[in-house]
Every structure is written in structure tokens, then in C-alpha cells.
Amino acid sequence: MSGSRRFLLVLLVLLVLVGTRATVHAHESQPGMLDIEQLAGDRFEVLWRAPIYFGQPHPAHPELPASWTTVAPSTVRELADSQLFRSIVSVGRAGLDGAVIRFPRLESTTTDVFVRLERLDGTSMTTVVRPTKPWAQLRGERSWRASAADYLGLGFHHILQGVDHLLFVLGLLLIVEGRMTLVKTVTAFTVAHSITLGLATLGYARAPLAPLNATIALSILFLGPEIVRRWRGETSVTIRYPWVAAFSFGLLHGFGFASGLSTTGMPRAELPLALLFFNVGVEAGQLVFVFLALALAKAFRVLELRWPRWAELLPGYTVGSLGAYWTIQRTVILLGVLR
């Protein structure tokens, strides 16, 4: 009884802490998109989808080459999660091969931008602009290695920024007992989220973002009590077969990963490559996190750390409370969307 009361207390404190400052914006910032489509000759349509960044219009804006002239004035459409800027430009006689588009102020954000160029002759190119490299050079074709490295980095970044996914993995680690079970559980999670990531990316399945985020939060909340149960030496289905929970919730998380890989308008031929390397990047990031957590746990044992009782319970309560907080927050968002 006192355990559940303490849980509520910790939950309350965390709610206040997290609620006062909106630091935990897991997955609310979507990638940006810049679409350049040839209309005729030197006329191109430029479409810039700027995601809403932490509740504000995005600070970065593409800077087109100076030699380009705007033919039709740009229009803005306000969408629920983004702003859509559309303009028509003339690239001049030199053509647009080798032109560089810069994204000032992108380097101070965490947003990735997909750039896609489509010509009338059917050729196209895609590239990813990152805060570490806030420009894109337009050219005919890109080597598959360059694209692969782009998507690999994208996946790696995506998982390491997804606090909710990492927290779920941490929760699994806290439940799992024994090395074989650990391997099975992590593999189950990996296989499951790869399946749904693939299905969603290839367009066979779709999950609306708002309910999805709420359910992902619910999966974290679900782990909280299980961790505490495990600490008390009790057992449950989840503790005995953690890979079952890892697999079923992994299916959900895969849809979440898919939201980081925006493929609208991506050339069909590039899709498998993007999917493969994005997934590899996600797994690499996940493995770095798992090994870091295990190495720290091992270090605590070597240093003969003896935690006080309240500190031993802290990870379980943290996972559970944050899960609960996100569930409430995202359900509110969901209801707001439905209304």
C-alpha cells in the first residue's frame, strides 16, 4: 500500500518538474522538406515544408542561390504541424546543376531536412540536410554510398533523440534477468520494430501520429510497475517472458521510427536503400545505448556501490512516472486533435 502511495508522490513531483518546463518534447519535431520540381525549361516550383519547432515557426529558412529569380511571389499555408511555403523561380540559363541551397540558422536546431529535386525528364535526386551540414548541392545523381551514409546518420540521430524509445529500452533492461533473456528481448524488440518500420515506410500500413504517440507512452507506463514488481522479487508474465512484451510493443515503436523517415515523394528506387540504412542506424544507436547502460551497471558493481533503498527504486518509478506523464500529455493532445 505504502509502495503505491510513494509511487504517486514521485509521480507528482516529476509531473511538476517536467510540466513546468517543456523540456521533454520527444518526437514532436518532424523533419523538414524541400521539394524542387521542374515545371518547364528554367522554371521550377519550390515547396518548403517547415515543421513547427517547439511550438514556434521554424527558425531556419532555405536560402536559394542569388542567380535564381522569383517569378511568382511565395504563398504560405498554415498546417497543423507545419508551414508550407510555395514559390516559383527561374534558375537562369546556367541551369541548376551544382547550385547550392543554404539553410541559415538550421545549425542551432535539431531538425533534419529532406531535399528532393525532380526534373521533367524523370531524373531526380534526394539528399538530407542536417544541422551539422546546413546546405545541399543539387546535382544529377548521387552515389549510393552518399545516400546510405545520410540515412544511416538519420536513423542514429533519430533513436538517440527519441527519449521515449530509449526509456522503453531501459525499462526492458531493468526487467530482464540473465544474458540469454537479454539477447532474446533486445532481438525481439529489434525484429518487431523493423517489421512495422518497413511496412509503414513501404506504405502498406499507417498509424496516425497522435494516437500512436499516446500508445507508445502507454507502453512505457506499462513497464513501470513491472520493474517495481521485479525489484520486490515478485514475478509476472512480463518478467518471465519479457520478449513477448518487447515484441508486441516493438511493433508500436516501429511506427514511431517511421515518422522520422519521411518518404513522401522519394524515388521508388531509393526506398529500399533508405529503409535499410535508416534501420541500421536505429539499431546502431540502440546498441550504443544498451551497451552504455550495461557498462554503467557493471561499473557500479565493480565500484561496490550500495544504493539506499529509495535510490534502488528510482529507475522503476522514473520510467513509470514519465510514461504516465506522457500518456496524459499525449492523450490531451489526441483529444485536442479529435475535437
Partner 1 sequence: MGSLAGAALLVGHPATAAAHLVTTGMGPVYDGAGHLFLTPEDLVPVLAIALFAGLRGPAAGRRAMFLLPPAWLMGGLIGSVLRVGAPASTPALSFLVLGGLVASDLRAPVAWVSGLAVIVGLVHGFGNGAVLRDGAGTLGLIGIVAMSYVVVTLVAASVVSLRVPWMRIAVRVAGSWIAAVGLLMFGWALR
Partner 2 sequence: MIRRASRRSAVLPFGAALLLASLPIPTSAHVERGPATGFLTGLEHPWSGLDHVLAMIAVGLWGAQLGNPAIWILPVTFPMVMAMGAMMGLLGISLPGVELGIATSAILLGAMVAGEVRPRLAVAAVLVGFFAIFHGHAHGTELPPGQNGMLYSMGFVIATGCLHAVGIAIGLLHRWPAGRLVMRGTGAVIALMGVRFLWRALT
Interface residue list for partner 1 (CB under 8 A): 107, 110, 112, 130-132, 157, 160-161, 292, 295-296, 298-300, 302-305
Residues 40-79 binding partner 2 (CB under 8 A) are: none
Q: Which residues contact 107 (CB under 8 A, 6 or more apart)?
A: 131, 132, 134
Could you say whether residue 298 binds partner 2 (CB under 8 A)?
Answer: yes
* CA angle at 290 for the pair 289 and 292, rounded to the nearest 5°: 65
Could you say whether residue 145 binds partner 2 (CB under 8 A)?
Answer: no
C-alpha cell at 208: 496516425
Q: Of 94, 93, 89, which is closest to residue 62 (Cα–Cα)?
A: 89
CB of 184 to partner 2, least distance (A): 11
Could you say whether residue 146 binds partner 2 (CB under 8 A)?
Answer: no
Q: CB of 315 within 8 A of CB of 14? A: no
Could you say whether residue 310 binds partner 2 (CB under 8 A)?
Answer: no
> Which one among 120, 299, 335, 337 touches partner 2, defined by CB under 8 A?
299
Could you say whether residue 295 binds partner 2 (CB under 8 A)?
Answer: yes
Question: 218-251 burial by CB neighbour count: b if 16+ within 10 A, else e?
Answer: bbbbbbbbbbbbbbeeeeeebbeebbebbbebbb
CB of 111 to partner 1, least distance (A): 9
Nearer to partner 1, 8 or 307 (CB): 307
**Which listed option, partner 1, partner 2, none, makes contact with residue 110 (CB within 5 to 8 Å by class)?**
partner 1
Could you say whether residue 311 binds partner 2 (CB under 8 A)?
Answer: no
CB of 218 to partner 2, least distance (A): 23
CB of 198 to partner 1, least distance (A): 25
CB of 291 to partner 1, least distance (A): 11
Could you say whether residue 288 binds partner 2 (CB under 8 A)?
Answer: yes
Distance CA 128, CA 112 (A): 7
Give the range of 1-9, 30-38, 51-59, 283-291 binding partner 2 by CB under 8 A. 283-291
Dihedral sign, CA of 88, 92, 93, 95?
negative
> Which one among 89, 174, 217, 220 touches partner 2, defined by CB under 8 A?
174
- Binding site residues, partner 2, CB under 8 A: 132-133, 153, 156-157, 173-174, 176-179, 181-182, 284, 288, 291-299, 301-302
